[in-house]
Structures are given as C-alpha cells and as structure tokens.
Amino acid sequence: MKSRLNIDRTVAKTDAPRLPTMRDVAILAGVHQTTVSLALRNHPEIPVKTRERIRAFAEKIGYHPDPALDAFNFHRLANHPLRSAPAIAFISDLASGAAFEESAARRDVYFGARETAGRMGFVLERFFVGPQNLSPSRLNGILESRNIDCAIVVSFSLQTRELPLGWMRLCALKVESFHLQPQLDIITADHIQASRLALSQLWSLGFRRIGMVLTHSEDVRLAKLSRAGYLVELAGRTESVPIAPLYIDGVAPQNLPGHLAMWISKNRIEAVISDSSHILASMRRAGYAIPGDLGFASLDWARTDEGLAGVEANHHLIGQSAVELLAMRRQTNERGVREEISITFVPGSWHDGPTASRPGLVRHAEVSMPVREPALPASPSP
Amino acid sequence: MVAQIDSSPKALSHRVTLKDVARQANVHFTTVSLALRGHSGIPTPTRARIVAIANELGYQRDPVFMALTSRRTDVHLSRKVQRIAFLTNHPDPAAFYGAAHMRYFFEGARRQAEIMGYSCDLLFVDGKHLSSSTLEARFRDAECEGFIVGAFNIPGEIITLDWSRYAIVKIDSRFMEPAVAVVANDQMQAVRLAYERLHQLGYRRIGMAVGRYDEAATHDLYAAGCLIEQAGVPRVERIPPIHFAYGDRVQEAVPKLRSWVREHGVQVVISNWSEILPMAVAAGLRVPDELACVCLCLNDPDRRVAGVIQNHHAVGRRAVEVLGLALKTGQRGISPCPTAVYIAGRWQNGASAPPIR
C-alpha cells in the first residue's frame, strides 16, 4: 500500500518535468531509500547482487548522484560537527608520541592531517603499533569495534615490514613507507625534486664539486629518491662529476667530524647536500667555516633552522591531501588494497640562507687561494 | 565600532558564516547576503559597513556552496549532470582511438567520472574542431568547470585559457601551461622494475634506449631510474644509455641502436619505444640470442614481449579523482604546490627476454 501511495504521488508530480530521485529508485527496487544510497556507494554491507540490481534500476530511470550535492555534503560538516565524529586512524610504528614528535616533518604531517580532519568533520586519532605498543591484531580489533574505517599509515621504519590489518574494510593510504606491505597508495614529499632543486641552486651559486651526506637506512626507506634526483640533475650538466655519497649510519658522534673531513678532502668537496640538518654542526666541528670553506644545503629544512639554506618539504600539505583523498574515497566506498598503486609527490620549496653563499676560499690541500673572493662565481676546481 | 572577535579554540574551528556577520552588523542575515552581492535595495553606506565587517571577520563565500545554490532554482526542471571534459589535441577521432594508451586514459577517466556522478566529454582541441576561444564558450554552455588536459602531443594545438576559472588536471603534458597537478605513468618505476627483474633473470649488461623527447617530456624520469639502478652495480656494468634524437624515426634509430649494442656489448635493451623488437631485428640482431628486448610501455599482456605493462586506465581514473577533489574543495587555476601522481606498471616476462642460465 505504502509504495502504491508513493507511485501515485510521483505520477501526480510528473506534470512538471522532474528529475528522478533516490526515492524513485527505492520504490522501483522495493527497498528503502537508504539501501539505495548505500548500494550506489558500493557499500560492502549490501549484497553484491542487490547492489547490481539497484544500480540497474537507477540506470533505467536515469538517476545519477549529484556531484554538486556531494561536494556540498563534503563541506557541510565543517559548520555542523556531528556529535560523535567518525575517526581516522593515524598509525605510526614509533615507540611513543614523544618519539613521533621528535621530527618536525612528522609533526607537520600530523598537524596538516588533524586540521583537515577537523575541518571536514572527522577526528584524527593516533595509534602506535610495535613490540612495546599495540600488536597489529589488537589494533585491528580496536578499529573494528570502534567502527573506524579510515587509516593513514605514517612513515614506517624499515624494521616493520608489514602491517596486517583487515584492509578490506578500510580506506587507507600510506605516507612514505614504500617498503611496507600491503601495497597502498602513497603520498610523500617529492625527494627527487628536492635534491634536484638543492643541487641546481648550489650549482647556480657557482659550486661544482657537490656531494651528498646521507643516512643509508633513510635512503633505502625513501627508495633512494634523493640520490636519483642528485644523479639525474648532475647528469644534465656538462663537466659534472657524480661523487659517491657518504653514509653516516653507525659512525659514532665523536668520530663524525673526522669521517666527514676525510671524505670532504679526498673528494675535494665544495658543497654538501644532506638529508639531515644536524650534519652542519659536525662539519663545523671538523674545522670548516660554513659559509666560507664549504657550502651546505639541507633537504630537511625547517623554519627553526636559523641561517640554513635548503629545501622545505610541504609536510602540512601531505597530511592535508591524505585526509582529503580518504574522505572522498570513503564517500564512494573505495576500500581495501587497490590493484594499482599510485604515488603522489608533493614538491618542496627552496629557502636561501647563509650556508649557501657564493663559494670563496675552498680549503683543500690541492687548492690554496690566499685571498677570498666572495663575489666571484668560482670556476670548477682544478 | 570595533568587531569583537572571539578567539576561543571553538570559535576558531568554526568557519565564519553569514549569520556571524549579521550578528555583528545587527541586521538580518538575508541583508548581509544581499549587501555582499551588491544588491541595490540595500543603501550604499549599509552595504559598505557590512562588507567591512565581513572582511574583518574573514567571511568567505564557499565556492562549493555557491555552485550548489546557483543551480538550486532550476533543480526541478532539467538538472544537467555536472560535466567535466577530457581534452585531447590528437588531430581526429581515428588517431585518438587508434592510440591504445589514449583510449585507455579516456576509458579510465570516464569510468571514474561515472562513479563520482560526473559526465565526461571527450573534446578535440585541434584548431579545426575547437580552439582556445571556442573552448571557453563550450565550457560556459555546458557549465563545465573542470577539465583534464589529456596527454597533449608535441607538435599540436596548444590552449590558453583563463585558467583561474577551472579546476584542471594534466595527464602528462608537462611541457605546457598551466602548472597544475600532473597524473602520469610511473616511468622511473618502470625502468627500475625492468633493471631489477632483468638482474634476477641473470642479465648483467643492461642498456637503456629512449628518445630525447621522452626524457624531456617526463623531466628525465627514465634517466633517473637508470642512474639510480646503475649506481648499485659494478662500474663495468654501467652502460651509458642511448638517446634517440628529436624527430628520429625507426629508420634513423636502427643504425644508432646497432652501433651502440656492438660498442658496449649490450645483452638486453630496455626501451620506451614500442617498436623496439622490430628495430632490433631490422638492426640485424637475433632476438633474444644476440640482443634481448624489454619494452617499457606495453599496453596489453603479450607473451612474446617482456616488459612493463602500463596501467593507463588507472591514470585516467586517478586524474578524475584528483579533478573531483579540486572541484569539491573549490580549487581553481594554477596550483602553488602542484603535485605529481604516478601510477606504477607491472612486470611481464616474455620470450624477448628469457632467463639466462
């Protein structure tokens, strides 16, 4: 009877041309309107056959979801926060919140994600997995029982090779974590662009013999992208010589200055690019004046590093993009491990600083220039 | 009058609305709405006062909301499905559909558009069908606010529009304006994957042959993949890549390939040219005994050719996803921080590069 009534009402209104609505599809299919909504958004709760049947009905009468309305819903929550906002899990394999916040980069990713989540009506909640923290199965239990269906997996270390969770029900993305199973879409700083930018800036300042100081585990963790950028940028320049990078893993802090000095003088290094801003202090302890003897650019530039030149990654935007993409995929129920993997690279920007001033006196055994010539772009070292 | 701005955390997380402005100005919110739209029914001094308060509070019109309300009035007539466009500068439909990768890009885009509720039109920008000026009119008529620059060719028609009016995503097309998000096949990953698999198959003298044009078009992603893989092998195994010149056709490339293979004792060539196998044959080399061949841009599985099958469908789908996000969040025009999205391909073993014992 009820559906009959609805049909009559529909007919009565068709004098004026009217677009089919979700309710029309529901009447035809003999299901509730909410079932249509779930089915068209591909919700796993609705049996596949029912989803197909409902989709066929929608097609038949020409019902389409309205993207403008979608977009509106996407924004609506900003002004009307739900009483219990859905949560997005922000998962790290570090030991604790304090360890997580040691890195300004990770902090910015978190802030970017949290801010965006808040703006879109989500709550961002941090979880730590690992031997001292939650086991993956325990975490999975929490996510399931709390009905959390979005996850961002953030900057996992090489020690954690896989994260077995019930991915089928999750909308999920990784920040970095190239090596980590499962394969999910990745958002990362564009490390190729960053080292290309640093190298080309140093080059345009007149530095020629430019070397990289890296942490091997970080290089591997980030799929050697920084080094790829360095090599390809150098390859495009005539008279350029790639210098094998210096890896500093496992070098005791007190030995680091000596280690650096040996590499610098052996390779007649004029400028250093490093993934760690801390290395600057060790180079100064080794007796190099920077600026003056050497140029330096950091690939981990942060606002707090005074007097430093380098590339600042847009970590905030990485966090923001991750949440926006998840929110959108949640709407269309694109869950689970995807067949194809995409990597989103977010570019960084160059910051000038005194550590990358025009090279003058380069203090090496072979090069002895008595007078500093700060204004001249240096010709390549002999 | 000084507007008091509540700076408690709760207020900061709340976006300024018309009602906030109304409360501050002590008028009804419909008055604010009219005033901000410059309605002549509101006296000029009142309008100025309201605009000043709105600016002070940081009120901003929500582009998404505007898009919705602007169409609300005619929703009961014939609501059009929101349209996005896939632009190509291929000379004609035959050329477009004849290029499998273009067809796959578009099919992927259209499929994702359907899921998200857009309709995706294929538009030919080739000077004959559409040019920059007619394109703007076309977008206006179709109420189209977002488009994909679909892997434009060089040479070919280039467009220049008022970018700030549209949400825009490019597939490849890095050589041209505007600076917006790019979605593309992951060429660097393809090269690295090929090196890795060939190493596992027992190959040591691995050489890469690509076009200069393709390097420029991808910002040297082929070279980056090659250099980083070569950095991990002994110096004697690092074969310098060969670059075919701009405008080289197969007949010009074949002799270059032959002398490069001879000079460096290349065991296997990795190339993004789909004709690499017939080229090796034309160079008088027995495949795979004298020269094994790997193609980096296979469109479909083919047991005869080893290489990387590119997921063009996924590129199209992902492009629409990025476009949809821009439309939803109200991003228009060039991006201050244009991202690059790369889609990985997958390896396929094939007769042209069998395992070496």
Cα A151 from Cα A182, distance rounded (Å): 13
- CATH topology for the B9-61 domain: 434 Repressor (Amino-terminal Domain) (1.10.260)
Q: Are A194 and A180 in contact (CB under 8 A)?
A: no
Q: What is the DSSP letter of B129?
A: S
User: What are the tens digits of pLDDT across the range A233-282?
Assistant: 999 898 888 999 999 998 999 999 999 999 999 999 999 999 988 899 99
Which residue's structure tokens are 């893989």?
B229
Q: Which residues pair with B167 in a beta bridge?
A: B146
Q: What is the 3-state secondary structure (H, E, C) of B217-234?
A: HCCCHHHHHHHHHHCCCC
Interval A45-59 mean pLDDT: 87
Instruction: Test A67 with B82 for CB contact under 8 angstroms.
Output: yes
Q: Which two tokens stand for residue B77?
A: 């007539």
| Residues of B with Cβ-Cβ distance to A119 under 8 angstroms | 13
- CATH topology for the A2-65 domain: 434 Repressor (Amino-terminal Domain) (1.10.260)
pLDDT at residue A364 is higher than 60:
no
Helix (H/G/I), strand (E/B), else coil: B87 = strand
pLDDT at residue A379 is higher than 70:
no
Q: How far does the CA of residue B123 sit from the closest CA of chain A (Å)? A: 21
Cα A58 from Cα B114, distance rounded (Å): 13
Selected residue of A59, A70, A184, A325 to mutate for chain B interface (largest B Cβ count, 10 A): A70
On the question of a cis peptide bond just before residue A182, with omega within 30 degrees of 0, the verdict is yes
pLDDT band at A80 (very low <50, low <70, confident <90, very high): low
What would be the CATH architecture of the domain defined by A191-312+352-356?
A: 3-Layer(aba) Sandwich (3.40)
Helix (H/G/I), strand (E/B), else coil: A131 = coil
- Alpha carbon B186 to its chain centroid, in Å, reads 11
Which amino acid would we find at residue B56? E
Instruction: Test B339 with A346 for CB contact under 8 angstroms.
Output: yes
| Residues of A with Cβ-Cβ distance to B116 under 8 angstroms | 65, 67, 70, 332
What would be the CATH architecture of the domain defined by B187-311?
A: 3-Layer(aba) Sandwich (3.40)
Q: What is the DSSP letter of A354?
A: G
Question: In 3D, which of B219, B188, B209, B211 has the Cα closest to residue B294?
Answer: B209
Instruction: Test A66 with B329 for CB contact under 8 angstroms.
Output: no
Cα A205 from Cα A38, distance rounded (Å): 59
pLDDT at residue A2 is higher than 60:
no
- Spell out the alpha helix ranges (H) of B127-240: 132-142, 187-200, 212-217, 221-230
| DSSP annotation string for B262-324 | HHHT-SEEEES-TTHHHHHHHTT--TTTT-EEEEEEESS--TTSEEEE--HHHHHHHHHHHHH
User: Which of B67, B78, B339 lies nearest to residue A71, judging by beta carbons?
Assistant: B67
Which residue in chain A has the smallest CA separation from B313? Answer: A340
Instruction: Test A231 with B224 for CB contact under 8 angstroms.
Output: yes
Q: Are A131 and A96 in contact (CB under 8 A)?
A: no
| Residues of B with Cβ-Cβ distance to A224 under 8 angstroms | 228, 231
Instruction: Test B227 with A235 for CB contact under 8 angstroms.
Output: yes
User: What are the tens digits of pLDDT across the range B65-113?
Assistant: 655 554 454 444 445 578 999 999 888 888 899 889 999 999 999 999 9
User: Which of A72, A229, A339 lies nearest to residue B224, judging by beta carbons?
Assistant: A229
The answer to whether the pTM exceeds 0.90 is: no
Q: Provide CB contacts within 8 A for B40, sequence distance 6+.
A: none
Cα B7 from Cα B254, distance rounded (Å): 71
Which amino acid would we find at residue B294? V
Q: Are B279 and B287 in contact (CB under 8 A)?
A: no
Instruction: Test B78 with A190 for CB contact under 8 angstroms.
Output: no
pLDDT at residue A3 is higher than 80:
no
Q: Which residues pair with B292 in a beta bridge?
A: B268
Q: Provide CB contacts within 8 A for A95, sequence distance 6+.
A: A128, A130, A132, A133
| DSSP annotation string for A157-196 | -TT--B----GGG-EEEEES-TTSBSP--EEEE-HHHHHH
Three-point CA angle A156, A169, A63, nearest 5°: 130
| Residues of A with Cβ-Cβ distance to B62 under 8 angstroms | 75
Domain residue spans in chain B?
Answer: 9-61, 83-184+315-343, 187-311
pLDDT band at A375 (very low <50, low <70, confident <90, very high): very low
Question: In 3D, which of B37, B6, B39 has the Cα closest to residue B20?
Answer: B6
Q: Which residues of chain B have pLDDT under 70?
A: 1-14, 62-80
Which residue in chain A has the smallest CA separation from B312? Answer: A340
Same fold, A2-65 and A191-312+352-356: no
Helix (H/G/I), strand (E/B), else coil: A34 = helix
Cα A306 from Cα A309, distance rounded (Å): 9
Instruction: Test B339 with A347 for CB contact under 8 angstroms.
Output: yes
| Interchain CB contacts (distance < 8 Å): A and B | 125
Cα A37 from Cα A22, distance rounded (Å): 7
Instruction: Test B339 with A345 for CB contact under 8 angstroms.
Output: yes
Q: Are A362 and A293 in contact (CB under 8 A)?
A: yes
Instruction: Test B118 with A67 for CB contact under 8 angstroms.
Output: yes
Q: How far does the CA of residue A254 sit from the closest CA of chain B (Å)? A: 29
User: Which of B13, B82, B311 lies nearest to residue A68, judging by beta carbons?
Assistant: B82
| Residues of B with Cβ-Cβ distance to A340 under 8 angstroms | 311, 314, 343-344
Q: Are B356 and B203 in contact (CB under 8 A)?
A: yes
pLDDT at residue A330 is higher than 60:
yes
Q: How far does the CA of residue A90 sit from the closest CA of chain B (Å)? A: 20
pLDDT band at A40 (very low <50, low <70, confident <90, very high): confident
Cα A324 from Cα A71, distance rounded (Å): 12
Cα B215 from Cα B254, distance rounded (Å): 19
Q: Residue A65 — left, alpha, or beta (φ > 0 → left; ψ -120 to 50 → alpha)?
A: beta
- Dihedral (CA of A265, A267, A268, A274) sign: negative
pLDDT band at A52 (very low <50, low <70, confident <90, very high): confident
Which whole-number Å values give the CA distances from B33 to A102, B36, B37, B60, B102, in the listed order?
47, 5, 6, 12, 46
Cα A231 from Cα B247, distance rounded (Å): 27
| Phi, psi dihedrals of residue B209, rounded to the nearest 5° | -125, 110
Instruction: Test A321 with B77 for CB contact under 8 angstroms.
Output: no
Which whole-number Å values give the CA distances from B113 to A124, A363, B84, B107, B183, in the listed order?
29, 61, 8, 10, 16
User: What are the tens digits of pLDDT across the range A135-154?
Assistant: 999 999 999 999 899 999 99
| DSSP annotation string for A296-322 | EEESS--TT-TT-EEEE--HHHHHHHH
Residue range B83-184+315-343, CATH number: 3.40.50.2300
Residue range A87-188+317-347, CATH number: 3.40.50.2300
Selected residue of B174, B228, B235 to mutate for chain A interface (largest A Cβ count, 10 A): B228
Q: Are A104 and A278 in contact (CB under 8 A)?
A: no
User: Which of B225, B325, B339 lies nearest to residue A328, judging by beta carbons?
Assistant: B325
Domain residue spans in chain A?
Answer: 2-65, 87-188+317-347, 191-312+352-356
Q: Which two tokens stand for residue A118?
A: 């808040």
Exposed (0-12), middle (13-18) or buried (19+): which is A283, by Cβ within 10 Å? buried
Instruction: Test A192 with B224 for CB contact under 8 angstroms.
Output: yes
Which residue in chain A has the smallest CA separation from B66? Answer: A72
Cα B348 from Cα B84, distance rounded (Å): 34
| Phi, psi dihedrals of residue A370, rounded to the nearest 5° | -70, -35
Instruction: Test B220 with A344 for CB contact under 8 angstroms.
Output: no
Query: Looking at residue A161, what is its pLDDT?
Result: 95
Cα A98 from Cα A93, distance rounded (Å): 12
Strand order in the sheet with A210-214: A246-247, A210-214, A271-274, A295-298, A309-312, A349-351
Instruction: Test A71 with B327 for CB contact under 8 angstroms.
Output: yes
Instruction: Test B341 with A340 for CB contact under 8 angstroms.
Output: no
Instruction: Test B339 with A324 for CB contact under 8 angstroms.
Output: no
* Long-range contacts of residues A97-103, Cβ cutoff 8 Å, at least 24 apart: A97/A126, A97/A128, A100/A126, A100/A128
| Phi, psi dihedrals of residue B175, rounded to the nearest 5° | -70, -15
